[in-house]
Amino acid sequence: VVTRQAGPSAWTTGRANMQYRDLIPNRMNGYLIASHIRIPAGGPVADDVHFHDVRFQLIYCYRGWARLVYEDQGEPFILKSGDCVLQPPRIRHRVLESSDGLEVIEIACPSSHLTTIDYQLTLPTNASRPNREFSGQRFHWHQHQHTKWQLDDATNWSIARLGISEATRQLADATILRANGDMQCIDDSLTFWFVITGSCQIRVGSQPPSRLAATNCATIPRNQPLSLQQCSEDLEILRVRLF
């Protein structure tokens, strides 16, 4: 499934007056949802303490910043461009404020899940429990400023691991990839690709090739031959894998 940036009609208004764009229209038969979420005018966000009944949920900050607070994870903090958080199942959290032009990418499994407001809990909580587990997963905040790059022997591309595999006990993984020529691979996981910068041509299986540019994305089923060609030098991709 390839999704490109669309006009104003592609955006809808959702929770706390945030604007949403669906990045997987068929939602992989209910298995996965990916949303491009934005807040054009920053300031305090009319959000409540809430939680989600999910199997997996990741937030990647694409542009701007947001001030967030999570249950038992200390004081509120600023999620900046290039940062991401792993929100384990049912962790209470709240968006407090944002910059102008905030944009985040949210990936969650399953696509249909319950969101519940918690009227009893006040955040932040008194406890700081960074190793607390929620349904076997830990809260994780990857800060872009601490990103470490290494060479991926399989593709010869540069890769940055975001710590999601460890936080989810290998349920999922998230990496940033920087292009170095063409790439060919077959992945045994369901993968979601979001183009952060640059452009490339993507081809999956026997389907015709498609051109991808910044804010475009592709969702690839398991065990499908994939090739990325005509990659620009500034191509950078967020790749999320579900096993």
pLDDT tens figures, 4-27: 877 777 899 888 788 999 999 889
Q: Using the predicted structure, report yes or no on whether residue 178 has a pLDDT greater than 90.
A: yes
156-171 average pLDDT score: 96
pLDDT tens, position by position, 39-64 = 999 999 999 999 999 999 999 999 99
pLDDT value at position 110? 96
The pTM assigned to this predicted structure is: 0.95
User: Do 58 and 86 contact (CB within 8 A), yes or no?
Assistant: yes
Report DSSP state, residue 208.
P
Whole-number mean pLDDT of the chain? 95
The strand ranges marked E within 125-187 are: 133-134, 137-138, 140-142, 149-151, 158-161, 172-178, 183-187
pLDDT value at position 54? 97
